[in-house]
Structure 1
Amino acid sequence: MSATDLDPWGEDRPLTVRNWAADIVLGLLPIALSLPAGDRLFGVAALVGVAVAIRRRWLMTSVSLLTVAGLWQVIAGDINYGADAFYCVVTFRLGADRDRATRRIGLAFCAVVIAGATAWTALQPTVGGGEWWRRVVTAAIMAGLSALVVVGGWLTGYVRYQRRQVIRERVGLELQSAEERRLRDLVTQQQQRIAIASDMHDVVAHSWAVVAAQADGARYLLRTDPERAEEALSVIGETARAAMTDIRGLLSRLRDDGSDAPLTLDQPDALIQRLRDAGVSLEVHRHGTPSADPQLTTTASRVLTESLTNALKHGDLRSPVQVREDWTDGYRLTVTNAAGARPVGSSGHGLRGMRERVSAAGGTMCAESIDAGTRWQVDVFIPSEVSS
């Protein structure tokens, strides 16, 4: 909606009964002022009164009635000064109209009225005692009085239009600013929901993958190696408690209660140790020093978590999972594992969440089968400066 479409004053709404009553009362005034003149100029006053009464509903019809009233006075050779004073009411409406063409028509009408009144006065043989210079002076006075009435009314209306236009522009800017803030809030909320959904997937997928792997191991070790089975059950308990803590934190963020507790998945060393405790053979190679940028380290931790979770869920764990992290130039991660019986899909929630995180950080990611489908590899690169 543009500023010119705004209507805080209700100008575009249909006239109420009160509006019509006020216009009719105003239209009766030129008639009342013409009563002392008798029937001779009553028709002119009636035309002017009707024009005034309908100006807000049928503006061009109102202008036509005033034109007929003016011609009537020229033909009759007499002027109804009381009724003519109300020409300013209609020209005010013309000057205040939001349509430029209507305002220009109003100026043209004012020019016609002034020219007609001036010419009529100058051509009257009895004006000024018949002397030409007196007729010129009288015509000039008539032109001034006519301009005072019609142009004065138009200018007053135009000033009101300009003032209201400034208010419309101001209101329009405020509405536009409010709409932009609303859209920004919606985008921010959507981004927060996506981030929470990704975090929730990381917590649930990783934790329950570890729990499932440990539970399977504990079942087989329960009779043959009770001590290792007990260790597996201990890992299950620790993993479940950490997951519950993380989920409570995510629910707090979802409710927007001001909580922003970090997730336990943000600790790569604890993650690797947890997977090793789950029986995953990991070959980890690290180069460089992790960045001090918390956003970069958080994104790197999430990507590493999802990559290892996929290896745990879908890979053949009889072969070691190879992990290479390089912090010398941004963050580079390569995770390679032997392909299992259930290959990783290219459109799962985990991979989609990884791509969203890497893309938000201004990085690139590639996850694909290699070596004729015998292995699965994830390659990630995130530059040093993480975009906000």
Structure 2
Amino acid sequence: MGTAQSGWSALAGGLLAAAVAVRRGWWWAAVALAVTAGLLQVVVGDLNIVADLAFAPVAFTLGAHRSRAVRQAGLVASILGVAGAATWAGVEATGSQGTGGPALSVAGMATAAALVLVGGWVTGYVRWQRREALRAHLDAQLRAAEERRLRDLVAIERDRLRIAADMHDVIAHSWAVVAAQADGARYAMRTDPAAAEDALGVIGETARGAMTDVRRLLGRLRDAELAADDDLGGPDELVTRMRASGMTVDVHREGTPDPAVAGAARLVLAEALTNALKHGDLSVPVRIEEAGGPVHRLTVTNRRGSPGAPGEGHGLRGMRERVERAGGRLTAGPTADGRWVVDAELPRAGAS
């Protein structure tokens, strides 16, 4: 019987190994395999203590799952597992030990099972809470940045209207003065050369003043275009936050970033990482590739998770609009091999 029991114990270990292997993609299959392995050990009365440690990562996966129903079911299953292990220990110890033996066996088995099952679930739940807190923090920052962008757009539009009015006043007044003085100088040129000379001086002074005013107005236009910048922190800060949530991020950078496109690139990176956190498979590293040059290139790649990947929502539209306003191009979507790729190209200032 010992040989048979060892065989059953090895089979239970194999089932638990399979449960750990499939737990991220098919949590329900992992639970079925783990329950089968546990029942098999109870029925044959042969525990594989080392293999039973695999219950912890399965419980962790349930505790960290996005679905509230799955998390709750995982907690219930963990508690039932502890109760079942304690009951089995009591039954096995009854009649084979002295007074107090069964109680000690039940307490020891319940403690060990709780550490593995409930401890694994609690650890996963804490990871889920950290991930949700980070997601909420990033969403709040993105919403605040979008609100600031909209406020800035309204302010820019008002400023443009003021600039248009100022431009009209500058040009209309200046050219009216120039036209009048030119006519006066033309008539006075023969009869009153001094008056004609004065008129030409006024024309020169008026033209120089108008050019100064136009330069000032154009400067305001340039400043207004750059006013709607964001405040999400630098790319390294974003990556640090994501790594704190449990995401593995591989960063590859080449060249020198262009400050003129840094704001747009930073928003694209933040939104792409947030989508990876929400919808991606966190067991696979997220890859960030950024390269300077005549065209600033930013590529963020992650493995698509289940369920689904992001559609064309506000975030992707906002990324595309921001990149297009900077004169660039953005593509975002799934690939045939199960990845999700965001690719942005932003022309550097002065690049042809």
Cross-structure match for 1:148 = 115
Q: 1:121 aligns with which of 78, 81, 89?
A: 89
SS class of match (2:96): helix
**Hey, what's the Cα distance between the residues in 2 that align with 1:237 and 1:82?**
94
State the identity as a percent. Answer: 52
Unaligned runs of 5+ in 1: 1-34, 257-388
For the pair 1:43 / 2:4, whether they are aligned, the reply is no
Match of 1:111 in 2: 79
Q: Which residue of 2 aligns with 1:84?
A: 52
CA contact (8 A) 2:8 2:44 kept: no
Q: Which TM-score applies when normalising by structure 2?
A: 0.51
Q: Give the deviation of 1:236 after TM superposition.
A: 4.0
Is the contact between residue 92 and residue 153 of structure 1 (CA under 8 Å) also seen in structure 2?
Answer: yes
Inter-CA distance 91–202: structure 2 relative to 1 (3 Å threshold): same
Q: Aligned partners of 2:117 and 2:129: how far apart in 1?
A: 18
Who is 2:43 aligned against?
75
Distance 1:133 1:248, change over 3 A: closer
| Structure having the higher Rg | 1
Q: Which residue of 2 aligns with 1:250?
A: 217
Cα deviation digits, residues 163-195 of structure 1 (max 9, x gap) = 344444444444445545555555555554443
TM-score (norm: length of structure 1): 0.47
What is the one-letter code of the residue matched to 2:207? A
Paired residue type of 2:162: A
CA contact (8 A) 1:127 1:138 kept: no
Amino acid at match of 1:154: W
Q: Could you say what the CA RMSD is over the residues aligned between the two structures, in angstroms?
A: 3.8
Q: Counterpart in 2 of 1:205?
A: 172
- 1:310-329 per-residue CA deviation (whole Å, 9 max, x = no partner) reads xxxxxxxxxxxxxxxxxxxx
Q: 1:138 aligns with which of 78, 86, 105?
A: 105
SS of residue matched to 1:129: coil
Judging changes above 3 Å, is the alpha-carbon distance between structure 1 residues 142 and 255 closer, same or farther for their aligned structure 2 residues?
closer
1:214/1:54 CA distance change after superposition, 3 Å:
same
Q: Distance in 1 between matches of 2:113 and 2:107?
A: 10
Further displaced range: 73-82 or 227-236 = 227-236
Q: Look up the SS of the partner of 1:72 in the other structure.
A: helix
Q: Which residue does the alignment assign to 1:163?
A: 130
Residue 110 of structure 1 and its aligned partner are, at CA, apart by 0.4
The one-character-per-residue Cα deviations of 1:321-359 (angstroms, maximum 9, x if unpaired) are xxxxxxxxxxxxxxxxxxxxxxxxxxxxxxxxxxxxxxx
- SS of the counterpart of 1:112? helix
Opposite residue 217 of structure 2, the aligned amino acid is L
Check conservation: 1:66, 1:87, Cα contact below 8 A: yes
Instruction: State whether residues 88 and 152 of structure 1, in contact with CA within 8 Å, keep that contact through their aligned partners in structure 2.
Output: yes
Distance 1:239 1:185 in 2: 34
Q: Partners of 1:252 and 1:133 in 2: how far apart?
A: 88
Q: Residue type of the partner of 1:78?
A: D
Deviates more, 1:239-248 or 1:68-77: 239-248
Change in Cα spacing, 1:215 to 1:121, as seen in structure 2 (3 Å) is same
Residue 163 to residue 238, structure 1, CA distance change in 2 (3 Å): closer
Cα distance in 2 between the residues matched to 1:221 and 1:107 = 100
Seen in structure 2, the aligned counterparts of structure 1 residues 36 and 213 have a Cα distance that, compared at 3 Å, is farther
Asked if the contact 1:117–1:143 (Cα under 8 Å) also holds between the matched residues in 2, the reply is yes
Offset of residue 74 of structure 1: 2.8
Question: Which amino acid letter does the alignment assign opposite residue 67 of structure 1?
Answer: V
Deviation at 1:242, TM superposition (A): 2.9
| Contact 2:20 2:57 (C-alpha < 8 Å) held by counterparts | yes
AA matched with 1:202: D
Q: Distance in 2 between matches of 1:122 and 1:252?
A: 84
CA contact (8 A) 1:128 1:134 kept: no
Residue in structure 2 matched with residue 15 of structure 1 by the alignment: none
User: What's 1:56 paired with?
Assistant: 24
Q: Which residue of 1 aligns with 2:348?
A: none
Q: Distance between the aligned counterparts of 2:138 and 2:208, measured in 1?
A: 54
- Go from structure 1 to structure 2 and tell me whether the alpha carbon gap of 1:120 and 1:255 turns closer, same or farther (over 3 Å shift): closer
- Distance in 2 (CA, whole Å) between partners of 1:45 and 1:75 is 15
Gaps in structure 2 of 5+ consecutive residues: 224-352
Tell me the CA shift for residue 217 of structure 1: 6.0
Aligned mate of 1:95, from 56, 63, 72: 63
SS of alignment partner, residue 43 of structure 2: helix
Aligned partners of 1:92 and 1:128: how far apart in 2? 36
Q: Aligned equivalents of 2:195 and 2:127: distance in 1?
A: 88
The residue identity in structure 2 corresponding to 1:245 is: T
Determine helix, strand or coil for the equivalent of 1:97. coil
CA distance in 1, matches of 2:124, 2:95: 35
Contact (CA 8 Å) 2:5, 2:46: kept in 1 or not?
A: no
